[in-house]
Amino acid sequence: MVPAPAPGRQGGVRRRSGARALTASDLRLESFVSNPDIRTLGRIGQPLRGAPTGYPRRRRARVPRAVARGLARARTGAVGPGATAGRQAAPTPPVAALPAPQRPVTDRAVVQRTSRDATRPGAATVFARADGLALTLPSDAAVAIGFHEADGPQALPLTPSGRLVANDNPTAFRPPADSQGPGYRGLAPLGEARSATGAVDVAVGGPGAVVAPVDGRVVEVAEYPLAGGTRDWRVAIEPQGRPDLTVVLTRLRDPRVAVGDAVRAGRTPLGRGRVLPFATPLDGLFPRPPAQTSLRVQPAVRAEPLDPNAPALSAADGRSGPSS
């Protein structure tokens, strides 16, 4: 017969004051120790029927409805409707207004001059004609074009193509109607009784590259003395299909072609423009003198002597052939 547990014990296990309540597993284990039965051991971990399970359940104190309603009204008035004090969203920072776009401050004179003189249409743009021969810009970075009197009587008059920007030779230069093309200027006269458009100066920007103004073949590359003691280069081109004419470019440095080379208009580099040691009419358009090149068209000069018994040149177009 199993003796009854001593006072102060419960199921053979002494309970101390302040100790936690016994669980179902504790009670089953205590029962197995008192009565070693394998069936009792198999039920360890399962709750006992009618036995206390864990800590005693604590009852929550009920708040009177009147008090709860008063607290709810106070909370709603403090944090606003639809929000709680613990989850109130942080105020959104104000978005700064974007400044109104402003136009860049530029020099009005520079803007006007650039819009009128800067060509920038590309080196393949026709800017003049001479005796029916079209001439394209000798640079894809041309920034100013000025027609003036040539320094020799052999130069043919040039007909500008584009828009007249300024005419400083109104007495001798009668510009044609504006057409598609770059802006150009009529430069002041030199006091010579020659065509007002016998030559043209082209100011080039950037590295100052100069390209061929016509398709053709190089017939001369020569160095000669320029005013001021500077050595300059001259390149002459025979235009394709026009052996009666020669296109001459001066004010060049670092020539890139040789006699006999084939050139393409707007593509083949001839050299680079030169910053002249003396003042030119185009210098006043820029803060510093720009690199430039000069161009003229003249009748071709034969290398061999003329036969006095040969047929005369045609007066109509200057080409050799039997007279009519």
Digit-coded pLDDT (tens) for 39-50: 555 555 555 454
Q: Are residues 272 and 205 in the same domain?
A: yes
Distant-in-sequence, close-in-space partners of 32: CB < 8 Å, separation ≥ 6: 40, 41, 44
* Predicted pLDDT of residue 90: 53
The pTM assigned to this predicted structure is 0.58
- In this predicted structure, what is the pLDDT of residue 60? 61
Does residue 165 belong to any structural domain of this protein? yes
The pLDDT of residue 66: 73
**49: containing domain:** 18-53
Q: Could you say which of 8, 30, 53 is where a domain stops?
A: 53
Task: Mark out the alpha helices in the chain (DSSP H runs).
Answer: 24-34, 38-42, 65-79, 108-117
Is the same domain home to 194 and 285? yes
Amino acid at 278: F
Do 173 and 265 fall within a single domain?
yes
Query: 73 lies in a domain?
Result: no
Residues 144 and 267 both lie in one domain: yes
Residues of the chain with pLDDT below 50 are 1-2, 8-13, 15-16, 48, 50-51, 53-54, 78-87, 89, 95-116, 118-120, 318-324
pLDDT at 49: 53
- Give the domain CATH number at 252: 2.70.70
Give the pLDDT of residue 112. 41
DSSP per-residue string spanning 297-319: EEE---SSPPPTTSPPBPTTT--
pLDDT digits (tens, 9 = 90+) for 153-164: 899 999 999 999
Rg, the chain, Cα only: 52
Q: Indicate the number of domains in the chain.
A: 2
In-domain check, residue 220: yes
